[in-house]
A and B are shown apart, each in its own frame.
Chain A
């Protein structure tokens, strides 16, 4: 299992479309992937669970991946965070 803290840097935070991108990316891996914010732990493959985090800009999310492709999962998810979820700002 790999855990890594990631910061949300895009202007709108983990809103609906950003959550959808994250979910679709997470679903492309066989590993189990979870997001943790404070005491809330959600399945990164379920958009409606991800949205329940209501995570705004500058929130730190702990991303956990467990499985055969966990390393690539964490790496690709981190890239998505760094790239503002593809939103430009």
Chain B
């Protein structure tokens, strides 16, 4: 199973996981998060993120989701990217996370494309 890690400003990631778990009820979630506080020493986060990636890696890769492209959590992730193994997507929203959890493919690039498509599709003017 592809691992999913949320690296976000503050508690956004944890809250998204809580909401997804509530909606998906008994469905196995298996997602971890790292909450970034930019006032902290940012070096400590590299170790935390590195350990989380190792824990989540089961041979199919790890997909990291973050919130704002170009912001601190996103910039911290650049060094972890390994093509087809550890990939990063930005602009996380709840539909993106639920899609990734509930339709977790074994191909990381398919999962990325489906998740991004779902995230975009759910931004609508009503």
Contact = CB atoms under 8 A, between A and B. Distances in A.
Nearest to A23: B102
A68 interface: no
Interface stretch (A13-21, A31-39, A55-63): A13-21
B37 to A, nearest CB: 30
B93 to A, nearest CB: 11
B24 A52 contact: no
What secondary structure prevails in chain A residues at the interface with B? helix
Q: How large is the interface on B (under 10, 10 to 19, 20 to 34, 35 or more residues)?
A: 10 to 19
A47 B122 contact: no
Interface in A47-87: 47-48, 51-52
A23 B103 CA distance: 11
23 contacts: A17-B22, A17-B23, A17-B25, A20-B23, A20-B24, A20-B25, A20-B27, A20-B102, A23-B102, A24-B25, A24-B26, A24-B27, A46-B102, A47-B23, A47-B24, A47-B99, A48-B98, A48-B99, A48-B102, A48-B103, A48-B122, A51-B95, A52-B121
Interface of A: 16-17, 20-21, 23-24, 46-48, 51-52
